[in-house]
Amino acid sequence: MSPVGVFDSGVGGLSVLAALRAELPHENFVYFADTAYAPYGERGDAYVIERSRAVVEHLLREHGIKALVVACNTATTAAIHLLRADHPDLPIVGLEPGLKPAVASSRTGHISVLATRGTLASAKYANLRASFAGSADVRPVPCDGLVKAIEGFDSGGIAALSERYMAEAGPFGDGPGEVDTVVLGCTHYPLVKEELGKHAPATLRFIDTGVPVAQQTRRLLASAGRLADGTGAAGNLLLQSSGDVAVLEAAAARWLGLSATATA
């Protein structure tokens, strides 16, 4: 059975992969971490487009994927429209910061978005933000260095940067002018949600998009007649990396509790 391809610039997309495997337990997945060329979020659009196209060509050529999940906010904003034009017959699901559910659930109308500088500077994000103009006060917080710290298992760096960026995202609370909802606008950030939460009240809501992406993937597979038979065995998972495979294996073990061998 052909797999669903999932890719990110590194290990952040593992948070989306976890949601996909929970929603679609009978599907085969191949996860590609483009760590040799990461991080995408601090590069220009041309660079991200080139790498995204190269990764998708690899997934099609080597694995014959039947659908693609771009598990990277930066790659989605820079390249997904071109990937869809390149491969019109391939179901493709992308990510965007969860502003819609954040606006819907916020009681104070004050929301902060933690994301990479590339995502926040993109036209796609600007259009998304404009669509909610007047509905909420949305504060962008570019989190330089946080992806690199997560990729490097830098516990000290993760702790320091989490404290710094959550301070910029506040003040938190349920009172007038206080932020009660934080959007995790990069797939890496749900992996350190516990650390981020140390710097906010327990009432603060974090929004990420793993579950909605998994549900949309199911819908597209079903509409294309490519959904796996739900009566079969559990699907297989293949991990691949353009960089150090040991990093991906360690990340899968640390963040998801997966014991899996990665290949180059």
DSSP, residue by residue, 120-157 = HTSHHHHHHHHTTTTT-EEEEEE-TTHHHHHHTT-HHH
To the question of whether residue 188 is assigned a binding role by annotation, the answer is yes
**Do 89 and 121 belong together in one domain?**
no
**Do 103 and 118 belong together in one domain?**
yes
To the question of whether residue 28 is assigned a binding role by annotation, the answer is no
**Do 91 and 216 belong together in one domain?**
yes
CA–CA gap between residue 147 and residue 233 (Å, rounded) = 35
**Do 104 and 193 belong together in one domain?**
yes
- Among residues 186, 200, 214, 237, the one annotated as catalytic is 186
**Do 45 and 173 belong together in one domain?**
no
To the question of whether residue 74 is assigned a binding role by annotation, the answer is yes
Q: pLDDT by residue (tens digit) across 177-214?
A: 999 999 999 988 999 999 999 999 999 999 998 989 99
To the question of whether residue 37 is assigned a binding role by annotation, the answer is no
To the question of whether residue 2 is assigned a binding role by annotation, the answer is no
**Do 152 and 121 belong together in one domain?**
yes
Q: What confidence score (pLDDT) does residue 59 get?
A: 98
What's the pTM? 0.85
Q: Is residue 52 part of a domain?
A: yes
- Residue 50 CB partners (closer than 8 Å, separation 6+): none
Q: What confidence score (pLDDT) does residue 232 get?
A: 72
Residue ranges making up the domain that contains 252: 4-95+210-256
Q: Please indicate whether residue 143 is annotated as part of the active site.
A: no
Any idea what the CATH number is for the domain that residue 49 is in?
Answer: 3.40.50.1860
- Domain boundary among the residues 184, 201, 218 is at 201
Is 90 exceeded by the pLDDT of residue 74? no
Q: pLDDT by residue (tens digit) across 222-236?
A: 999 999 987 778 899
To the question of whether residue 236 is assigned a binding role by annotation, the answer is no
Q: Is residue 263 part of a domain?
A: no
Confidence of residue 24 (pLDDT cuts 50, 70, 90): very high
Other C-beta atoms closer than 10 Å to the C-beta of 224 total: 13
- Among residues 20, 65, 72, 196, the one annotated as catalytic is 72
Q: What is the mean pLDDT of residues 30-53?
A: 91
- Residue 106 CB partners (closer than 8 Å, separation 6+): 136, 180, 181, 205
Confidence of residue 258 (pLDDT cuts 50, 70, 90): confident
Q: What confidence score (pLDDT) does residue 261 get?
A: 82
Per the CB < 8 A criterion, the answer to whether 10 and 35 are in contact is yes
Which amino acid appears at position 8 of this protein? D
Q: pLDDT by residue (tens digit) across 111-138?
A: 999 998 888 988 889 999 999 888 999 9
